[in-house]
């Protein structure tokens, strides 16, 4: 049941700066109410029932089972069921790396998502109050068993431009991507032959786990951050690209495929790779509101980032071939395009082989990578570099 607005002594709702307001984790019945309320904004092409079922399914994944919190801005003195949800959001606990002055640490961080105020309460400052409260809550939230008991950073992905979240400390960071159109089988054969590209192999979930998430690979990413922090005065942070992130994204696409595309086989191909060149990528399919929004996102790339110049050609060719197979996979799933975030110089070279006219897009309105840095108060400097800022981090 959707709660109606509480009647305040002055006949309205508490103001956004009222001391009577508090931000608390929602109990299960309010979580459900939040999902119902915000479904209008976030359900895409799903109906409300299916959207809620997907939310429940996604909350049971490895990434979220213990780490997902639904927050509600409510009146302090009213119990659940009798209070009005003025604004709500979710936070996802994630593993992070922090490197500073040549030392690297495993830390905990949070991603913020599903920020919502219902239409009738908008423009009154409730979401702003919630973000202000959240910023304080996240300082120590779920940190009890950590070496650092205060949060170093948290992230979110703004779909409402750059100014709103900046006010509350989440500053916009570089948010670039490249997008390539889907291609047919015929186009794929011609393109691969035309530029003489190697043929990548497809990766199933287990291949992604072994090729892209093994301890060595994760350790290498950690070491790269440490090395970067030796050369830079800025702290270097990243969300760990672990298997749990990929499982969560796949749970999303598999749920859609099962419920909406029930006449198809499940989407088993989860990426592509070239073992010889040691380049691998993992992807997931995002089914949007219309066909043109359907996008195959490359969640993460793994390749040798300390490659010697004589080997870069093989790496670039492998990347180009992998991108072509992603374009073909996109076509097979009725996706309009392939998109990947934060292209590196080698990826730009690969794009140069495939489509020199492809543009790097600087996102100004949606999915703006935003990070709140608390490191200055912890002696970690004023500036921070967000490394591995790829799509897998999105929530
Ligand atoms: C965004 C949202 C949470 C704001 O809630 P709210 O309670 O009205 O927020 P506040 O009253 O604290 O602040 C409103 C500010 O947000 C800005 N804002 C709201 N929607 C915006 C949008 N689509 N683009 C840019 N700014 C937006 C308003 O312009 C306003 O700015 P102002 O203070 O300079 O006038 C609410 O509009 C909403 O739920 N929208 C639909 C879901 C959504 O887009 N969520 C954000 C996903 S990142």
Partnered with residue 302 across adjacent β-strands are 280
Q: How far is the CA of 50 from the centre of ligand 1 (A)?
A: 26
Atom of ligand 1 nearest to the CA of 158: 48
Residue 191 is predicted with a pLDDT of: 82
Query: CB of 209 within 8 A of CB of 62?
Result: no
Distance CA 307, CA 310 (A): 8
Q: Where are the domains of the chain?
A: 21-174+369-393, 176-365
pLDDT at 3: 46
Q: Are 321 and 157 in contact (CB under 8 A)?
A: no
Q: Which residue minimizes the CA distance to atom 23 of ligand 1?
A: 160
Q: Looking at domain 176-365, does it have CATH number 3.40.50?
A: no
- How far apart are alpha carbons 297 and 141 in whole angstroms? 30
Atom of ligand 1 nearest to the CA of 124: 11
pLDDT score at 230: 98
CA 165 to chain centre: 16
Does the 21-174+369-393 domain belong in CATH 3.40.630.30?
yes
Is there a common fold for 21-174+369-393 and 176-365?
A: yes
Query: How confident is the model over 285-337, as pLDDT tens digits?
Result: 999 999 999 999 999 999 999 888 888 999 999 999 999 999 999 999 999 99
Q: Which of 117, 125, 161 to mutate to test the pocket of ligand 1 (most atoms within 8 A of CB)?
A: 117
Q: Within 6 Å (CB) of ligand 1, which residues are found?
A: 41, 87, 115-117, 122-128, 158-161, 164
Q: What is the pLDDT of residue 8?
A: 60
How many C-beta neighbours within 10 Å does residue 323 have? 27
Å from CA of 19 to ligand 1 middle: 22
Which residues does the chain have with pLDDT short of 70? Answer: 1-11
Contacts of 203 (CB under 8 A, 6+ apart): 211, 212, 269, 270, 271, 272, 273, 280, 282
146-169: burial string, b at 16+ Cβ within 10 Å, e else: eeeeebbbbbbbbeeebeebeebb
Q: How far, in Å, is the centroid of ligand 1 from the Cα of 160?
A: 7
Kindly report the length of the chain: 395
What pLDDT shows up at residue 196? 86
Q: Which residues pair with 202 in a beta bridge?
A: 272
Is the C-alpha dihedral spanning 212, 216, 219, 224 positive or negative?
Answer: negative
């Amino acid at each position: 049941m959707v709660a109606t607005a509480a009647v305040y002594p002055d006949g309205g709702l508490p103001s956004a700066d009222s001391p009577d307001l508090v931000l608390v984790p929602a109990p299960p019945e309010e979580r459900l109410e939040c999902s119902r309320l915000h479904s209008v904004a976030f359900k895409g092409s799903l109906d409300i029932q299916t959207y809620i079922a997907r939310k429940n399914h996604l909350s049971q994944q490895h990434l979220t089972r213990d780490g997902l919190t639904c927050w509600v801005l409510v009146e302090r003195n009213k119990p659940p069921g009798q209070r009005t949800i003025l604004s709500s959001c979710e936070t996802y606990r994630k593993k992070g790396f922090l490197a500073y002055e040549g030392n690297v640490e495993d830390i905990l961080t949070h991603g913020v998502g599903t920020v919502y105020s219902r239409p009738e309460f908008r423009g009154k400052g409730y979401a702003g109050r919630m973000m202000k409260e959240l910023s304080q809550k996240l300082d120590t939230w779920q940190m009890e068993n950590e070496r650092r008991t205060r949060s170093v950073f948290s992230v979110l992905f703004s779909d409402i431009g750059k100014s709103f979240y900046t006010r509350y400390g989440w500053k916009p960071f570089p948010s670039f991507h490249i997008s390539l159109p889907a291609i047919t089988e015929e186009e794929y054969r011609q393109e691969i032959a035309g530029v003489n590209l190697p043929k990548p192999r497809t990766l199933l979930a287990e291949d992604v786990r072994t090729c892209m998430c093994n301890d060595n690979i994760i350790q290498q990413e950690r070491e790269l951050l440490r090395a970067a922090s030796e050369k830079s005065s800025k702290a270097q942070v990243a969300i760990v690209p672990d298997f749990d992130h990929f499982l969560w994204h796949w749970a999303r696409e598999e749920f859609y495929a099962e419920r909406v595309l029930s006449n198809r086989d499940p989407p088993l191909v989860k990426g592509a790779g070239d073992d010889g060149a040691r380049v691998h990528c993992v992807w997931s399919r995002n089914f949007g509101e219309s066909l043109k929004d359907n996008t195959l996102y490359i969640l993460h790339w793994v390749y040798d980032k300390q490659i010697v110049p004589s080997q870069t050609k093989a790496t670039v060719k492998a990347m180009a071939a992998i991108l072509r197979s992603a374009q073909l996979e996109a076509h097979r799933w009725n996706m309009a395009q392939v998109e990947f975030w934060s292209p590196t110089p080698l990826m730009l070279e690969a794009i140069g082989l495939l489509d020199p006219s492809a543009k790097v897009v600087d996102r100004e309105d949606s999915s703006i990578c935003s990070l709140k840095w608390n490191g200055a108060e912890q002696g970690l400097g004023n500036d921070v570099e967000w490394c591995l800022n790829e799509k897998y981090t999105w929530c």
